[in-house]
């Protein structure tokens, strides 16, 4: 059995690591295609090196383009890989442009499509990710849901593919890599930090790196009294420079970090302030409170349980939520048991 896995951005590299290992253990041949959606070395090649992923068989150069242009640029390369490899399944992750491109090409080529992280909804149609995930779910034959809420969402929408609750492969990655990160990373020493005495901030979503939202987010971060470590995505750093937005003296703006360093910081921060879907979940698994700088989230369970606070781009809410952030006691396990990858591999094998 052969699977073509299509990845292209930071979270997908992380998700693919434990799943690649599970596919190999199940005797499934995996062919990896890297779309090039994140072309910066710190956001792509370094992940393959750090996470021990096999080198991609196919590398595209889609780069950073508007939504429709990026998908069209990926299409010929993905189709060529499908025609050459003749996979039994095309496997896509999450909700990126890479995800949608892989799904559309697989559908048009008549190859069964499996979607990891299916059924998630934020309800915010202004987000391209929301439109992407809805379309991909409608194209997939096999939908791997992180929880019962996602399964029910697909049922309510009348999605035609087979949906299974397997948990979240990001939980697998957190289980496997967090202890490794804390043991190997020297990020705390590098930044002269003590565990539990700093804030980790990340901002990268397209809507958040344009004015006026970016300026309002910066204003909120600047009002935080604690030390803040802010690894900046390349487009975020470019936007800050373009708009001449200055960070406060307590904020250390740094280059993107490798996964192990970022994990070491995230798992030992007092608070995480972010617009990342992945970091919202990781914060929960690490028992670190989260402040989400978006108007909505696909991970509503974390909000309902009080572990995550939605503040949108309101400067006062950002700084106040960070100051007041505390992790509630006795929280339930969310999004699986850390062994979703094994369940996905078994499901694919059973449907050959």
- Which one is catalytic: 34, 38, 115, 204? 204
Alpha helices (runs of H) in the chain, residue ranges in sequence order = 10-25, 45-51, 67-85, 97-109, 128-139, 148-157, 169-184, 187-191, 213-222, 234-242, 259-266, 277-285, 300-304, 315-324, 340-350
Active site includes 204? yes
Distances (CA, A) of 157 to 135, 138, 150, 154, 208: 12, 9, 11, 5, 29
CA–CA dist 29, 155 (Å, integer): 31
CB 188 within 8 A of CB 268: yes
Q: Residue 212, preceding bond cis, omega within 30 degrees?
A: yes
Q: Provide the 10 A C-beta neighbour count for residue 196.
A: 10
What is the Cα–Cα distance from 319 to 279, expressed in whole angstroms?
A: 18
Do residues 69 and 37 make contact, with C-beta atoms less than 8 angstroms apart?
A: no
Question: Phi/psi of residue 190, each to 5°?
Answer: -60, -40
Q: How far apart (Å, rounded) are the C-alpha atoms in residues 222 and 68?
A: 35
- Supply the residues annotated as catalytic: 204
């Amino acid at each position: 059995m052969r699977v073509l896995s299509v990845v292209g951005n930071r979270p997908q590299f992380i998700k693919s690591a434990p799943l690649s290992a599970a596919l190999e253990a199940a005797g499934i041949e995996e062919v990896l295609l890297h779309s090039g959606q994140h072309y910066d070395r710190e956001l792509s090649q370094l992940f393959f090196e750090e996470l021990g992923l096999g080198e991609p068989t196919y590398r595209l150069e889609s780069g950073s383009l508007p939504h429709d242009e990026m998908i069209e640029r990926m299409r010929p390369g993905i189709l060529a890989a499908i025609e050459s490899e003749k996979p039994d399944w095309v496997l896509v992750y999450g909700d990126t442009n890479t995800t949608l491109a892989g799904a559309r090409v697989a559908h048009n080529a008549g190859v069964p499509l499996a979607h990891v992280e299916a059924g998630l909804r934020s309800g915010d149609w202004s987000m391209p990710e929301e439109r992407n995930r809805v379309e991909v779910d409608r194209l997939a034959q096999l939908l791997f849901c992180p929880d019962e809420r996602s399964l029910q969402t697909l049922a309510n929408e009348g999605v035609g593919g087979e949906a299974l609750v397997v948990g979240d492969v990001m939980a697998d990655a957190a289980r496997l890599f967090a202890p490794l990160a804390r043991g190997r990373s020297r990020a705390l020493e590098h930044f002269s930090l003590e565990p539990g005495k700093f804030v980790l901030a990340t901002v990268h979503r397209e809507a958040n790196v344009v004015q006026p939202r970016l300026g309002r987010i910066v204003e909120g971060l600047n009002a935080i009294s604690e030390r803040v470590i802010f690894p900046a995505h390349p487009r975020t750093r470019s936007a800050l420079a373009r708009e001449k937005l200055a960070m406060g003296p307590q904020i250390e703006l740094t280059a993107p970090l490798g996964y192990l360093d970022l994990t070491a910081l995230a798992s030992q921060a007092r608070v995480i302030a972010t617009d990342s879907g992945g970091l919202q979940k990781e914060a929960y698994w690490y028992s670190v409170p989260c402040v989400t700088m978006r108007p909505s989230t696909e991970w509503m369970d974390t909000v309902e349980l009080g572990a995550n606070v939605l503040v949108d781009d309101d400067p006062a809410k950002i700084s106040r939520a960070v100051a007041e952030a505390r992790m509630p006691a006795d929280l339930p396990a969310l999004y699986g048991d850390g062994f979703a990858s094994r369940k996905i591999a078994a499901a694919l094998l059973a449907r050959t």
